[in-house]
Amino acid sequence: MPWIEANANVAVTLTVNGVSHRLELDARVTLLDALREHLRLTGTKKGCDHGQCGACTVLVNGRRINSCLSLAAMHGADNITTIEGLGTTDALHPLQAAFVAADGLQCGYCTAGQICSAMGMLEEWRAGWPSHVGEHAPAEAITAAEIRERMSGNLCRCAAYPRIVEAIQRYAGDEGAST
Amino acid sequence: MMPFEYLRAGNEADALQAAADRPDARFIAGGTNLLDLMKLGIERPPQLIDIGGLDLRTMAETPDGGLRIGALVTNAELAAHPLVRARYPLLSQAILAGASGQLRNKATTGGNLLQRTRCYYFYDPASPCNKREPGTGCAAIGGFNRIMAILGTSAHCIASHPSDMAVAMRALDARVETRQRDGQMEVRALDALYRLPGETPHIDHTLAPGELITAVVLPAPLNGRQRYRKVRDRASYAFALVSVAATLAVEDGMIVQAAMAFGGVAPMPWRDRTAEALLIGQTPSQALFERCADAVTAEAQGQGGNDFKITLLRRTLAACLTDLTGNVP
Amino acid sequence: MTEAIVKMDTPFADSLLDRVPAPLVGTELPRIDGPRKVTGTARYAAEHFPDGLVHGVLLRAPFGCGRITKVDPAEALAMPGVLAVIRDERMVRNGGGFAGAAAPVQGVEEVAYFGQPIGLVVADSLERARAAALCVRLTFETAPGVFDMVASRETALPPTDDIFGLFLIHTEQGDVAHAASEASALVDAVWQTPSQSHAAMEPHASVAIWQDGQLTLHGSYQSPVVTRDQLATVMGLEPTQVRILSPFVGGGFGGKLGVMPEAVAAAIAAQQLGRPVKVVMTRQQVFEMTGRRPMTYQRLRLGADAAGQLTLVQHDTITDQLTGEVFFEPAGLATHLLYAGANRQVDHKVVRTNKLLGVSMRAPGEAVGQLALECAMDELAEALNLDPIEFRLRNEPERHPETGVPFSSRALVACLKQGAARFGWPTRSRDPGAFRDGEWLVGYGMSSAARGNLFGPSRARVRIEGDGRVTVETEMTDIGTGTYTILAQIVADLLGVELAQVDVRLGDTDDPASAGSGGSWGATTSGSAVYAACSELRVRLAAAAGAPVDAITLAGGVLTAPGIRRPITDLVGNGLAVEGVAQPGESNTRLNQTSYGAHFCEVRVHAVTGEMRVARWSSVFAAGRILNLKTATSQAIGGIVLGIGGALTEELIHDPRSGKVVNRDLGEYHVAVHADIPAIDVHFLEERDSVANPLLAKGVGELGVCGAGAAVANAVYNATGVRVREFPITLDKLLHGLPPLTSATSRT
């Protein structure tokens, strides 16, 4: 049967890193493709396009999600934060700096996802959300075992894993010390 | 993804009306499974009705001590909810044993119940699959079937259900509230939501076209201890090979209540009330638990590559029951 | 442009790197491209948007062997925004080889494996192209294929090519049959390893742009010049008409060496449509139509005398590959040289199957070969009632056991001893299942590691600008390996400038050609080319300052010599540029060059379910000078984790009826996740290898994976008493050997 696209476009305003963008999009455009292809915010990566690698992780209203498994049209009311919204090469966010210092990256392709995921993950930790590892008091310092479990939705084929854990722990420790 | 018309429903009535107008439309909430399948061309709905704006995000205690969970409550919120952690730790454990933090933030309660199988052959349109395309055959039979089901299968489909959350909910006797196209509310036991494949494996569930899941209701928790034990190929972020959800109450050295459900082994979250009955009134013992495990697996049938699931299910179940009763002789 | 050549004909006794007052080389300098990667500003192949860009989606063959008889594009072409359904005989069926300009196998009619590319749909948006690809109707004839290597192993034949002499096909010394009959202890068993996928996080992607008869391609390639030459051949162009840019590559592991189908398809489509075309493979396509590590069937026969001396080392391996392809998995590579023993045989054979192309994957041959060899060594040590380290120490050869050639440097013994001490190996019980912690059975395992060190021709241009900034330009890539940083360190040290003054430009085929990223030789070859250029620049600077070059010190942007102190900017005029050339020579063949290591790990196995957890890890390596301790350690960890995955979870599954990749996504192809990996202790020994190259460094990138999986397997055995010889060791393979339920669940 012939496919008719007449009604298959949507208008949506995406608010990304505090900036609103009015877009006319094919309804099929995912949040990930809207960011990368339409807004040219290519810091967010496409690794699998099926929620199986975490490279596309962004924060939506502070919560981490896989942007590949969401339609852009579903996010008109949301505040989206991508890696470009954290720091710049001249003024790194402390978590970004911790990744560089600990060498929590190699090829760099999963890195933005790891960092955004870690931001969201630490917020979940502070909210007292439990994990498969167990329960905790919100004020507790996060352990390596907890970080590993909670970050398992972010694959790294270069396997910077131990150093990503180190970076997150270092950052979380500094945060804890400063608050 | 084939083209579709995207509608955002402002309220339940709009959503139901839109669905009534287009019987082949699909509701979308989290989208974590539906979009995944649409990208591969496995699902091709001509219209998506976004129900993300509906007022189905609340959780509330019911008058009889149970819990009513709005269909749009995310998996993450559900697992972290203080009432769930206190009264239904099994459910919290099951959710946290599944997927990833990102997916749990997006996936919803209603959507999780309706996720489709992860059978490799279902997931590739180039393979015959009766679930995807009725009448084409089952490539999993005679193929690589390590992850397939051992219970409740048919000659037409051996796919297993992937959910962890639904397994816990089945052990907890959850009920599903829906709205029909005409706005009529329906309540059914979770058991009755699912269908075994039989000769029609393409029909996963009993929802009518346009019927919308609005809530899941848990009855007051059983007494005793609860546990969800999942066995998988990675330490995290992998579907269950076998999982066991169990609640067990022991009084005066005797088992007085038992409920168990199993994941990774059947086309739906599996429950075996005969095996549960074996436990009631008995003194916990290793021998009893092994008899119970034997009963659960009595009808199990492997396809070669997944034969190990029978042994694994037996061992995991018996160990889980042992855990729930403390050290037993 | 002046050329400066370093040719390795004689040992390099005196490296300039050892005369630097406060060297950056060898330190834990953070990678200089780090800030760009953590901010998302490093641009990868798919992140280029030339005007008029359109999107291509590859079509695949939905069967394992046969012929496409008809393609009906009508429905797809009728869809809005669809520009073309392209089927062009120049399109490649198989990916290209890791070297040379030869065209890969081309064509879109004959189907040799399930999932092979057979066309491209182009539309003005990704969404439209992807939907149209679902609507192209194919008619085809299937033919019987060979899909099961093990079942067809009797048809195995010797490989047709020894890959520049790197992969010896068959070697033998002494009399293996006699040695087997005389041995006091013998292990004779078969180990099997499955196909594996490189699964780099960045899918293969190309953006092709034609302008005035020139093709520019932004691609994700480890060795852009090889890709360029192959692409030129395929397109019928001169290499000078093609430019490939790969400044950032999201992981390679061997899967992005030769040209891959998406680049060719993008180039053809861009040519045909007169518009830039982007083709990004879906993750499923990466699994189905790029390349895989071939599966292996390895028979190991090891024999020893009563004193624990190996008398027999026999390794007969079978692997699989598409008909006509020369690459084979050289699983016996390390067996040639790891241990002593007079009677030896290493043999390779290939079964021709209709399955995805076999290509190099991180430590080809050695990764899977040592998985088998090091497990067999563990078994023989047990048969001899020897500690596995002691057994290895007794069989340490003084020279290459086959050729008698000396080793350039070999610190295996030190790695074994120091690793044992770091790990706490002496506390291990030799009896399987002896150590238990609650429901977990605890085992320790170890293995040796060896990876051949290679050297190849490489070029790099180093230019000191008039303002004192230094630019390094080479076609070499950084695929996560640390090249940007390492080259900058070498330049900063040898020219005495601040690191911040150094710019490194990589991955552009218009720049001097390198040896590329692969074979663990990227840092040493490109670093040697930079070394050569800097050596000559030092001569020029010394001459300009009127000082003998041996007397100069360069530091802080200033040249000093007795009685002389001159800023470098005074000496370079408008700028000074030299092209450095590294060339292999006689010393690379006269001595055997290999990096070594030893792995130690603790694995916990759940007594009820067989779930496995790697709980603790120590490795010690010796790989010559370590150029950057931070990035080298990361490389080592990466290799070790790949080894852990290979031992426990990774298997690219082929359907036995069609060869189809069954688990073609990252949900079901199980690479290790965070939760699978503990803290990993890595230690490098101080070593200099003066035969290897002017840096006195050896390769690091692939060493970590060598033997790592065997340490895991040996630990699983130590925990459970179960020897699994068919990898990966998934829990279903352990169930039969776990304690009965009654004792499995007891808490004692």
Write the DSSP assignment of A19-86 as a string of letters. Answer: EEEEEEEETT-BHHHIIIIIS--TTS--S-SSSSS-TTEEEETTEEEEGGGSBGGGGTT-EEE-GGGT
Amino acid at A132: H
Handedness of CA C421, C426, C431, C435 (dihedral sign): negative
Q: Does residue C492 form part of some domain?
A: yes
pLDDT of residue B109: 98
Q: Are residues C510 and C599 in the same domain?
A: no
Q: Are residues C537 and C551 in the same domain?
A: yes
Query: Can you list the domains of chain A with their CATH numbers?
Result: 9-85 (3.10.20.30), 94-178 (1.10.150.120)
**Please, what sign has the CA dihedral across residues C623, C624, C628, C630?**
positive
Specify the pLDDT at position C417: 98
Length of chain A: 179
pLDDT given for residue A177 in this prediction: 61
Q: Give the tens place of pLDDT for each residue, C372-408.
A: 999 999 999 999 999 999 999 999 999 999 999 999 9
Considering the domain architecture, whether residues C471 and C559 belong to the same structural domain is answered as yes
pLDDT in tens, C66-125: 999 999 999 999 999 999 999 999 999 999 999 999 999 999 999 999 999 999 999 999
Residue C511: inside a domain: yes
CA dist., res. C220 & res. C47, Å (int): 11
When scoring A61, A110, A115, A152 by the number of chain B Cβ atoms within 10 A, the one with the most, hence best to mutate, is A152
Question: Per-residue pLDDT for chain B (329 aa), expressed as one digit of tens each?
Answer: 999 999 999 999 999 999 999 989 999 999 999 999 999 999 999 999 999 999 999 999 999 999 999 999 999 999 999 999 999 999 999 999 999 999 999 999 999 999 999 999 999 999 999 999 999 999 999 999 999 999 999 999 999 999 999 999 999 999 999 999 888 999 999 999 999 999 999 999 999 999 999 999 999 998 899 999 999 999 999 999 999 999 999 999 999 999 999 999 999 999 999 999 999 999 999 999 999 999 999 999 999 999 999 999 999 999 999 999 985 54
pLDDT digits (tens, 9 = 90+) for C547-589: 999 999 999 999 999 999 999 999 999 999 999 999 999 887 7
% chain C with pLDDT above 90: 97
Residue C192 lies in a domain: no
Counting every residue, how long is chain C? 748
Q: Note the pLDDT of residue B328.
A: 55
Could you tell me the residue range of the domain that residue C504 belongs to?
2-30+456-583
Q: What is the pLDDT of residue B181?
A: 87
Shared domain check, C552 and C524: yes
Q: Per the structure block, which two tokens stand in for C247?
A: 């400044």
Among residues C566, C583, C600, which one ends one of the domains?
A: C583
pLDDT digits (tens, 9 = 90+) for A63-91: 999 999 999 999 999 999 999 999 999 99
- Whether A6 has a pLDDT exceeding 80, the answer reads no
Residue C80: inside a domain? no
Under an 8 A CB cutoff, do C35 and A155 touch? no
In chain C, residues with a C-beta closer than 8 Å to the C-beta of A50 are 283, 665-667
Residue C246 within any structural domain of the chain: no
Please say which residue of C531, C554, C583 terminates a domain: C583
Q: How far apart are CA C150 and CA C152, in angstroms?
A: 5
Peptide bond between residue B209 and the one before it cis (omega within 30 degrees of 0):
no
Overall domain count for chain C: 2
Percent of the residues in chain C that have a pLDDT greater than 70, as a whole number? 100
Specify whether C655 is located in the same domain as C722.
Answer: yes
- Do residues C534 and C669 share a domain? no
Contacts with C125 (C-beta within 8 Å, 6 or more apart), sequence order: A26, C55, C81
Of the three residues C583, C602, C629, the one that is the final residue of a domain is C583
- Kindly list the residues from chain B whose CB atom is less than 8 angstroms away from the CB atom of residue A132: 93, 96-97, 236
Q: How far is CA A78 from the centre of its chain?
A: 15
Average pLDDT in chain C: 97
**Paired strand residues for B69:** B59, B216
pLDDT of residue A174: 85
Q: For C474-488, C576-590, C727-741, which range has the lowest pLDDT when averaged over its residues?
A: C576-590
Q: What radius of gyration do chain B's Cα atoms show?
A: 20
- pLDDT tens across C591-619, in order? 999 999 999 999 999 999 999 999 999 99
| Coil vs helix vs strand at C663 | coil
What digits encode the pLDDT tens for the residues C241-258?
999 999 999 999 999 999
Assign B176 to helix, strand or coil: strand
Torsion, Cα B272 B276 B277 B283, to 10 degrees, reads: 160
Backbone angles phi, psi at C534, to 5 degrees: -65, -35
Q: How many CB atoms lie within 10 A of CB A138?
A: 9
The tokens for C709 are 């999986």
Position C289 pLDDT exceeds 60: yes
Q: What are phi and psi of B278, to 5 degrees?
A: -60, -30
List strands edge to edge, sheet with C185-193: C170-173, C343-352, C310-321, C296-304, C185-193
ipTM for this prediction: 0.98
* Touching A: C residues 318-337, CB under 8 Å: none
Task: State whether C412 and C462 are in the same domain.
Answer: no
C348 neighbors C332 (Cβ within 8 angstroms): yes
User: Cβ atoms within 10 A of the Cβ of B214, count?
Assistant: 21
Asked if residue C46 has pLDDT above 80, the reply is yes
> Are residues C367 and C281 in contact, defined by beta-carbon separation less than 8 angstroms?
no
Task: Pick B102's closest partner by Cβ from A127, A128, A153.
Answer: A153
DSSP at C550: G
Q: Which residues pair with C314 in a beta bridge?
A: C301, C345
- Rounded average pLDDT over C30-59: 98
- Asked whether the predicted pLDDT for residue A2 surpasses 70, the reply is no
Token look-up 């933005």 returns A112
C41-63 average pLDDT score: 98
Interface check B46 vs C, CB under 8 A: no
Chain A: closest CA distance from residue C43 (Å): 8
CA B172, CA B167: separation in Å to the nearest integer?
9
Q: Which two tokens stand for residue C566?
A: 């001159």
C609 and C741 in a single domain? The answer is: yes
- What's the per-residue H, E or C state across C22-62? CCCCCCCCCCCCHHHHHHCCCCCHHHCCCCCCEEEEEEECC
Q: Is residue C412 part of a domain?
A: yes
d(CA B113, CA B69): 13
Is C606 in the same domain as C717? Answer: yes
Confidence of residue A3 (pLDDT cuts 50, 70, 90): very low
Q: What string of DSSP letters covers B181-195?
A: TTS-EEEEEHHHHB-
> How far apart are the C-alpha atoms of A47 and C203, rounded to whole Å?
6
Over range A35-55, report the average pLDDT: 98
Tell me how close the Cα of B185 comes to any Cα of chain C, in angstroms.
Answer: 37
Percent of chain B residues topping a pLDDT of 70: 99
Cβ neighbours of C282 in A, within 8 Å:
49
C345's CB contacts (< 8 A; 6+ apart) are: C170, C171, C172, C173, C176, C313, C314, C315, C316
Q: What is the pLDDT of residues C129-143, one digit of tens each?
A: 999 999 999 999 999
Q: Which of B28, B39, B76 sits opposite A129 (nearest CB)?
A: B76
Let me know: does C409 contact C687? Beta carbons within 8 Å: yes
Q: How confident is the model over A11-25, as pLDDT tens digits?
A: 999 999 999 999 999
Q: Residue C553 in 3-state DSSP?
A: strand
- For B162-216, write each residue's pLDDT tens digit: 999 999 999 999 999 999 988 899 999 999 999 999 999 999 999 999 999 999 9
Beta-ladder partners of C216: C209, C243
Largest Cα span, chain A = 63
Query: In the 8-state DSSP scheme, what is residue C385?
Result: T
Query: Cα–chain-centroid distance for residue B203?
Result: 15
- Top residue of C137, C201, C485, C666 to mutate, by most chain A CBs within 10 Å, is C201
**C748 within some domain:** yes
pLDDT of residue B327: 59
pLDDT at A8: 82
Indicate if C516 and C600 belong to the same structural domain: no
Could you tell me if C140 lies within 8 Å of chain A, comparing CB atoms? Answer: no
Helix, strand, coil shares of chain A, percent, nearest 5, are 40, 15, 45
Distance separating alpha carbons of residues A147 and C459, to the nearest angstrom: 43
Interface of C with B in 579-608 (CB under 8 A): 608
What's the rounded Cα separation, in Å, for the pair C218 and C208? 7
Same structural domain, C621 and C554: no
CB pair distance less than 8 Å for B5 and A66: no
Find the CATH number of the domain harbouring C691: 3.30.365.10
Q: How do strand C553-555 and strand C440-452 relate by DSSP bridges?
A: unpaired
Residue C534 covered by a domain: yes
- Are C625 and C666 part of one and the same domain? yes
Q: Which of C613, C664, C667 sits opposite B118 (nearest CB)?
A: C667
A155/A95 Cα distance (integer angstroms): 18
Distance, CA of B283 to CA of B273 (rounded, Å): 18
Mean pLDDT of C12-36: 96
- Measured in angstroms, the CA of B204 and the nearest CA of chain A are apart by 22
Distance separating alpha carbons of residues C157 and C126, to the nearest angstrom: 44
What is the per-residue pLDDT for A4? 40
Active site residues of C: 702
Local confidence band at A178 (pLDDT 50, 70, 90 cut-offs): low
pLDDT digits 0-9 by tens, C294-305: 999 999 999 999
